[in-house]
Structure 1
C-alpha cells in the first residue's frame, strides 16, 4: 500500500536569504551526529499521509476552483474546523501546494499572480489586526495608522493586484476572543463585504477550532448564513484507521528512518498510540516523530518501548512517572488526557 501522497509543505520562510544563510552557517558548525539525525528527521517529516479528511477537504477546494474558472459571481466562505492536533493547517497547505490550479501564474510582465493567500490570524485579532495580518502576508507594509475601513480598502486593492481569489485565514478562532469593539461583529461584516465585492469577490476559508462556526452568528442580518459552507474534519477511529496508523509507523520507522521496530512493544500498541494522540492524526504523527528522534539520538538501531515512552513524555511534558505515560500505565484506558485550547497537555491518571 502506497501511503504517501507527496511531500509536506516546506518552511514558509525557506526562500528568505537570511533564513537560508543562518541555516547554512548552523549546518556547517554542528557535529556530524547532529547533522545526521537532523537529515534523517527531515526525511521522516517530509512524508505526507492521506486520511479520510483529504477527500473531505477536496470538496470545497474543487468548488472554489470551479467557480473561479467560470468567473461565477456567487462567491462564498468555507469553515474548516477540528480540535487541536488534527493537522488542519498541514492538510489545507498540502492541498493548495499540490493543486495545479492554485500555483503562481505568470502575469506576462516577468512577475506572477498568486491565486491563494495564506494568513495566520493574530491572537485576539480585531478588525484592524486582521486587515494588517492580511496585508503583512502580501508583504504590503502600512506606513501610517489608518481606520479599519481604509485598511480593508487597501486589502481589496492589494488582493486584486496580486491576483488573489482565495484567502485562507488560519487560527480564525482568535477573532472570537477580540474585544467587542471592532471585534467579531465587525470582522464578520468585513468578510461578508469581501465575498460580496463586485469588483473583486473573494473566496474565504476560515480554518480553526470548532467555535469558528459561530462567526456567522455575528452577522446581524444573517447574510453570511447562506454564504458559508461548513466542513468539520473527522478524528481517526481504531476500527477504521488502526491498520492505517500501524502502516504509517512501520513506514516511518523502517523505510524513512532506516531503523528497526522493536519486538518489545507494549500490548495494544496501536490503540495506545491513537488514544495518547486523542485520535487526532497530527498529534499521533508527532508522537511517532519524537520516538524516532529519541532512538536516533541514543544511537539505537531500533525504536523500542523506551523510545515510545520518551516520545510521549516529550509531547505532554510529563514526568518519568509510569502512571502519566500511555505506553507504561497498565490502566491507560482510564487516563485523563485533556488539552487546553492553547495546546499544552495536562496529563493525569485515574488509578
Structure 2
C-alpha cells in the first residue's frame, strides 16, 4: 500500500550470498554439502605442526619482553621484532598449517575478524610484488578499506599508523616467494629495507611470518641484492633480516617415516566421510597416491577428499581406485594416459602439474596427446 511505512524489524537482513545459495539447496544435496564441508575442513596433524608452534611461540616470547623490565609495558619499551620463514613446496599445506595453529588460539583471538582485536593479520603477496602493492596489501589487511590505490609514499605510513591503531604486533605474508620474482634491483632493495624496518621500528616494532615456496630462501642469500655495497643501507637491512629470521621447512612425504601420521589420517578421513578407505592399506596404492600428490602432504589429503566426494556421489561407501582417478582428472585436467590412477606405469608420469602455481609460467612443451579428461566409469 502506498505510503505504508516499513519498520526495521520487517526489513529482511542481507545475508551472505553463499549462505543464500545454500539455503536453496534440496535436502539430499544439503546433506552432502554439510558432510563434505567437514571433510574438506579436516586437518591431519604431524610433527611439523609442533615445530611451527615452537618457532612462533619463541617469537611471541620475544614480543612480550620489555627492553627495560623496570619500566611499564608500552610501545617504547618493546624489543625489536623477529621473523619466521615457513618454506615448503606448493601443496605441502603451509596455509592449512597456519590456519590450524591460529584456530582457537588464545594468543590470537578472533583471527580473521577485522573487528575482533586479533594482534595478527595475514597479507597475500600479489604478483608483481613491488613496494606499492605490498604496502596496499598490508594497509587493507590491517582494516583500512580503500577503493583507491595509494602512492607508495602514502601506503606505508598509513599502514604503519593503522597497525599501531589496531594494536597489531604480527604480520604474516603468504606467497612471499613472489618477492623473489621482482627483477627490478631497486625494488628489491626497497622491499628488503621495508621488511627490516618493520621489525626495527622504534615506535611500533612488528614480528613477521614469511611463508612461500623453496625459492623464498633466495631472499636471505647475499646474491639477492647482487652488487649492493657492504656499507649500503639495503645491505645492512638485508643482514638485519637474515639475522632475525628462523626457518621451518616442511619435508616431502616419506612413506616409511610418515607411516604413523598417514595411518592416523586415513582413519580420521574414513570416519568423517563415513566411507571405507581400505585400499589405502595397500603399499602400492599409498605409493601411487604419494606420487600423484607430488609427495606433498596437503595434496595427498586433497586427492583423498576428492575421491571420497566421488564415491559418495556414486552412492557407494567404499572408495575405489577409479574415485581417485576421477579426482585427479578433475584437479589437473590431464588426459587418461597421464593419470597415475588410470595406468600401470604411474611412477613414470610427471605429476608436477598438480603443483602448478597461478603465477608460474605456462609450460608449452607437449605432455602427450591432449584430450578431454576421462572418467574411468560409465556415465550411468
Instruction: Show the counterpart of 1:230.
Output: 247
Task: Report the Cα distance in structure 2 between the residues aligned to 1:74 and 1:264, rounded to whole angstroms.
Answer: 49
Q: TM-score, normalised by structure 1?
A: 0.83
Which residue in 1 is equivalent to 2:3? none
Distance 1:144 1:26 in 2: 31
Write the distance in 1 (CA, Å) between the matches of 2:116 and 2:24: 37
Q: Supply the distance in 2 between the matched residues of 1:263 and 1:287 (Cα, whole angstroms).
A: 14
- C-alpha distance after superposition, 1:44-98 (max 9, x if no partner): 1222211121122122211111112223513212211111000001111221224
Structure 2 partner of 1:200 = 204
Give the conservation status (yes or no) of the 8 Å contact 1:184–1:215: no
Shift of 1:224: 2.1
Note if contact 1:170-1:208 (Cα within 8 Å) is conserved in structure 2. yes
Q: CA RMSD of the aligned region, Å?
A: 2.7
- Aligned match of 2:259: 242
Matches within 5 A, 1:132-281: 132-142=136-146, 146-178=150-182, 180=184, 183-216=187-220, 217-218=224-225, 219-221=234-236, 222-253=239-270, 255-261=271-277, 268-281=284-297
Determine if contact 2:138/2:159 at 8 Å carries over to the other structure: yes
Is the Cα contact below 8 Å between 1:265 and 1:305 reproduced in 2?
no
Contact 1:102–1:114 (CA under 8 A) maintained in structure 2: yes
Alpha-carbon distance in 1 for matches of 2:145, 2:264: 47
Q: Which structure is larger by alpha-carbon Rg, 1 or 2? A: 2
Count of residue pairs the alignment pairs up: 324
Matched residue, 1:29: 24
Deviations along 1:289-319, one digit per CA (max 9) or x if unpaired, are 1101101111122212221221222222222
Q: 1:50 to 1:78 in 2, by over 3 A?
A: same
Name stretches of at least 5 consecutive residues in structure 2 with no aligned partner. 1-12, 67-77, 226-233, 369-380
The structural deviation recorded for 1:337 is 1.8
Quickly say closer, same or farther: Cα 1:97–1:266, change in 2 above 3 A: closer
| 2:94 maps to 1:80 | no
**Distance in structure 2 (CA, Å) of the matches to 1:233 and 1:267:** 23
Any conservation in 2 of the 1:56–1:233 contact (CA below 8 Å)? no
Is the contact made by 2:109 and 2:116 (CA closer than 8 Å) also made in structure 1?
no
The range that moved more, 284-293 or 303-312, is: 303-312
Structure 1 residues 73 and 258, CA gap change in structure 2 (3 angstroms)? same
**Is 1:285 aligned with 2:301?**
yes
